[in-house]
């Protein structure tokens, strides 16, 4: 039963990845400028990754571009040493100005202030580390082993920064392994100019970030049993579904959990309804 499900999900996943990779994430002029900046700048993706929690991912990835504009107005460069010099208080003020009316409705004033406190501290702390340990140049994070990396190595490179926990580090490692993300593409181009051939080997060592969406979808589909499931169960199911790059399973499952498999599920529209125990029961197909 399990093998039959994972084989069908693999086909759905591969089709989904093709469409996901080729899709334009946001066609707004603001987002296109931000994406180009994140690809061309070495510090921007690190800051965006730190910001990418609790708020919209699109907004998180626009923040570095907004910060760079503010720094230019102050006659400063957008680099780690400049951010350390302007300090936590100013970083917090700038990001608060960007967020304005962009805050998610679920975040009350207290949560917003806590987010701003944490993120501004993490950004300055990360920039201090980049300045002091990596020559003020974030790309130097990835020149170990001559630029030949693996998902576990990328994971631990990123985990040294406050504000980048296991989920974020796993997601970045997965996207590097896929070789299609703006951060990876820009980094590869810059390192090539330094004579370094950035490569990610052992993509099969990537892991699926586990969150509430993954747990809910896996349980409803019938891939794991809710009462007995461990984190290792989820990872091993991901390896069965897509052994060459298990971390990529999250791309489909997260979207399903966010868009379809919610408290009021849209089973009729869900791409996994053909293999889902919950959906088949709910739609009266069993």
Q: Residue 193 belongs to what H/E stretch?
A: helix 182-193
Alpha-carbon gap, residue 272 to 217, rounded angstroms: 9
The CA-based angle 225-252-8, given to 5 degrees, is 65
Q: Which of 212-221, 227-236, 255-264 has the lowest mean pLDDT?
A: 227-236
12 pLDDT band, cuts 50/70/90, is very high
Per-residue pLDDT reduced to its tens digit, 217-242 = 999 999 998 777 888 999 999 999 99
3-class secondary structure per residue, 229-251:
CCHHHHHHHHHHHCCCCHHHHHH
Per-residue model confidence (pLDDT) at position 1:
74
Residue 285 has pLDDT above 70, yes or no: no
pLDDT at 65: 95
Q: How many CB atoms lie within 10 A of CB 90?
A: 17
What kind and span of H or E run contains 257?
helix 249-259
Query: In sequence order, which residues have a C-beta less than 8 Å from that of residue 145 and are 6 or more positions away?
Result: 153
pLDDT digits (tens, 9 = 90+) for 101-119: 999 999 999 999 999 999 9
Residue 208 is classified by DSSP as P
> According to the model, what pLDDT value does residue 23 have?
55
pLDDT the model gives residue 26: 45
Residue 25: pLDDT over 60: no
Residue 20 has what pLDDT?
A: 66
pLDDT digits (tens, 9 = 90+) for 138-176: 999 999 999 999 999 999 999 999 999 999 999 999 999
> What would the pLDDT profile of 68-106 be if each residue is shown by its tens digit?
999 999 999 999 999 999 999 999 999 999 999 999 999
Instruction: Output the average pLDDT for the chain.
Output: 92
Percent of the chain topping pLDDT 90 = 79
């Amino acid at each position: 039963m399990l093998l039959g499900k994972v084989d069908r999900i693999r086909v759905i996943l591969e089709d989904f990845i093709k469409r996901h990779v080729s899709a334009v994430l946001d066609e707004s002029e603001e987002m296109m400028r931000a994406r180009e900046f994140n690809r061309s700048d070495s510090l921007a993706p690190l800051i965006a990754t730190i910001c990418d929690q609790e708020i919209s991912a699109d907004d998180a990835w626009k923040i570095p571009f907004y910060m760079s504009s503010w720094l230019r107005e102050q006659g400063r460069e957008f680099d780690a040493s400049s951010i350390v010099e302007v300090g936590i208080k100013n970083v917090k003020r700038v990001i608060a100005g960007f967020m304005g009316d962009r805050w998610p409705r679920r975040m009350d004033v207290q949560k917003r202030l806590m987010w701003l406190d944490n993120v501004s501290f993490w950004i300055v702390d990360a920039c201090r580390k980049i300045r002091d340990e990596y020559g003020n140049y974030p790309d130097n994070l990835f020149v170990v082993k001559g630029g030949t990396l693996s998902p576990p190595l990328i994971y631990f490179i990123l985990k040294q920064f406050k504000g980048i926990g296991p989920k974020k580090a796993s997601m970045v490692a997965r996207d590097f392994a896929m070789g299609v993300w703006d951060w990876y593409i820009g980094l590869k181009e810059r390192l090539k100019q330094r004579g370094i051939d950035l490569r990610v080997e052992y993509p099969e060592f990537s892991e699926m970030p586990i969150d509430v969406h993954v747990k809910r979808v896996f349980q409803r589909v019938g891939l794991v049993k809710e009462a007995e499931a461990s984190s290792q169960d989820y990872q091993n199911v991901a390896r069965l579904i897509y052994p060459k790059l298990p971390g990529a399973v999250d791309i489909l499952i997260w979207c399903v959990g966010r868009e379809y498999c919610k408290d009021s599920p849209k089973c009729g529209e869900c791409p996994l309804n053909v293999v889902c125990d919950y959906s088949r029961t709910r739609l009266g197909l069993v």
